[in-house]
């Protein structure tokens, strides 16, 4: 009875420690990322002993008397992204768990949040970093991410993912299916770096039922108070600023005179969504990182403009060091009755 109680308590503690994925970060191609693609060590686990055997710890025997019945370093290799069925002849028909492990180096930066991002894994996935459970995800075709800011180490790290494509009646595919049941880390895996407060997601469209209005929403991550967000369509000379609520969300709807898309005239517009928080960042190193990020996301030939009361000279130095061209500082002027200097640059 006591043994059963201890087992139930242990299972409860484990389930409480496992979290769902963090809110999904959108627009990954335009973020600062570090690829984890390539060769991953992999252990096939047909008897599902890996969880009880704690494969996620990536343990090594301390001496010849300690029994560790797995070794990622001596295991086979699978390429990520990719399914295991087409990579290994012996896994062509395999359904069940496979444990993946990837070691990597990382240099921590101040005022930077870090997420580990999976483009897709088929079908059920548990993820661990440095032996700590991050969470789990179910579904073979959707991306998911976990924040690892507090768990990631300076220097060497390892991430372990248990991927299980075993069919179930309540899963996709179900027990009887008419398509091939692939398994594995089938899309890109990467680290994603974002500022402490960042644009997590957004949606911009023509207003429903209207051809001359723009509507949508913006969601900030890490916002602890209301902040201003700007939505801009430069070619249409549209620039609107909205305030987020305490949860970091802002909704908007405003008039816009746009040339609509058609097969004969497939007109497209660039939309810029930005959070006006640069001047609110207290530390110089974090401000410099934000300016470097501006340069990174600019398309070739794109221009940026910054207006600030005190620090435009500081920003100009960072822009030049980041390879920006035509960096120019204006004389003191007034914007919204506030004195300051504008700074422009081109990529």
Q: Tens digits of per-residue pLDDT, 122-166?
A: 999 999 999 999 999 999 999 999 999 999 999 999 999 999 999
| Model confidence band, residue 74 (pLDDT cutoffs 50, 70, 90) | very high
| Model confidence band, residue 339 (pLDDT cutoffs 50, 70, 90) | low
pLDDT at 13: 41
Read off the pLDDT of residues 252-261 as tens digits, 9 standing for 90 and up.
999 999 999 9
Average pLDDT, the chain: 88
pLDDT at 4: 45
Contact 305, 343 (CB under 8 A): yes
Read off the pLDDT of residues 77-94 as tens digits, 9 standing for 90 and up.
999 999 999 999 999 999
Give the residue among 32, 25, 115, 110 at the shortest CA–CA distance from 292: 32
Contact 116, 129 (CB under 8 A): yes
Which of the 8 DSSP states describes residue 69? -
pLDDT at 272: 86
d(CA 24, CA 203): 14
Give the residue among 220, 217, 21, 42 at the shortest CA–CA distance from 119: 21
Residue intervals of the chain classified under CATH 3.40.50.150 are: 281-347
pLDDT at 258: 92
Cβ neighbours for 31, distance < 8 A, ≥ 6 positions apart? 25, 192, 193, 194
Residue intervals of the chain classified under CATH 2.60.120.260 are: 2-194
pLDDT at 335: 53
> Average pLDDT in the 170-188 region?
90
H helices present in 23-122, as ranges: none
Read off the pLDDT of residues 195-249 as tens digits, 9 standing for 90 and up.
888 999 999 999 998 889 999 999 999 887 788 898 988 888 898 999 999 899 9
| Model confidence band, residue 10 (pLDDT cutoffs 50, 70, 90) | very low
Q: Which CATH number fits domain 2-194: 3.40.50.2300, 2.40.50.140, 1.20.120.1200, 2.60.120.260?
A: 2.60.120.260
pLDDT at 289 over 90: no
Give the residue among 185, 180, 167, 186 at the shortest CA–CA distance from 93: 180
Query: Among positive and negative, which fits the CA dihedral 190, 194, 200, 205?
Result: negative
Which of the 8 DSSP states describes residue 279? G
Contact 76, 84 (CB under 8 A): no
Q: Does domain 281-347 have CATH number 3.40.50.150?
A: yes
Global pTM reads 0.81
| Model confidence band, residue 16 (pLDDT cutoffs 50, 70, 90) | very low
Encoding tokens for residue 303? 């221009």
What fold, for 196-276?
A: Immunoglobulin-like (2.60.40)
pLDDT at 118: 98
* DSSP per position, 222-273: S--S--EEEEEEGGGTEEEEEE--TTSEEEEEEE---PPP-SSS------EE
What is the share, in percent, of the chain residues with pLDDT greater than 90?
61
Give the residue among 297, 316, 315, 290 at the shortest CA–CA distance from 112: 290
Residue intervals of the chain classified under CATH 2.60.40.10 are: 196-276
């Amino acid at each position: 009875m006591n043994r059963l109680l201890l087992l139930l308590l242990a299972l409860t503690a484990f389930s409480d420690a496992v979290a769902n994925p963090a809110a999904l970060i959108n627009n990954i191609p335009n973020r600062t990322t570090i690829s984890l693609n390539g060769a991953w060590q992999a252990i096939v686990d047909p008897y599902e002993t890996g969880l009880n055997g704690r494969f996620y710890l990536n343990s090594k025997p301390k001496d010849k008397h300690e029994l560790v019945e797995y070794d990622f370093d001596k295991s086979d290799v699978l390429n990520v992204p990719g399914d295991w069925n087409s990579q290994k002849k012996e896994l062509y028909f395999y359904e069940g768990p496979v444990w993946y492990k990837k070691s990597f180096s990382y240099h921590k930066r101040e005022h930077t949040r870090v997420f580990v991002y999976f483009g897709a894994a088929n079908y059920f996935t548990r993820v661990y970093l440095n032996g700590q459970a991050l969470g789990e995800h179910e579904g073979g075709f959707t991306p998911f991410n976990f924040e690892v800011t507090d768990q990631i180490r300076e220097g060497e790290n390892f991430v372990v993912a248990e991927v299980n494509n075993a069919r179930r009646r309540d899963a996709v595919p179900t027990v009887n299916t008419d398509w091939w049941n692939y398994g594995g880390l089938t899309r890109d895996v990467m680290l994603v770096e974002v500022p402490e407060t960042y644009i997590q997601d957004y949606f911009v469209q023509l207003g429903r039922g209207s051809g001359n209005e723009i509507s949508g929403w913006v969601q900030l991550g890490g916002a602890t108070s209301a902040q201003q967000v700007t939505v801009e369509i430069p070619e249409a000379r549209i620039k609107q600023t909205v305030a987020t609520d305490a949860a970091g969300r802002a909704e908007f709807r405003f008039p816009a005179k746009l040339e609509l898309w058609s097969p004969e005239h497939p007109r497209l517009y660039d939309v810029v969504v930005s959070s006006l928080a640069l001047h609110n960042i207290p530390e110089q190193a974090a401000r410099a990182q934000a300016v470097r990020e501006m340069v990174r996301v600019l398309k070739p030939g794109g221009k940026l403009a910054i207006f600030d009361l005190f620090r435009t000279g500081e920003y100009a130095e960072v822009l030049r060091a980041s390879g920006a061209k035509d960096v120019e500082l204006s004389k003191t002027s007034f914007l919204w009755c506030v004195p300051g200097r504008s700074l422009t640059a081109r990529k």
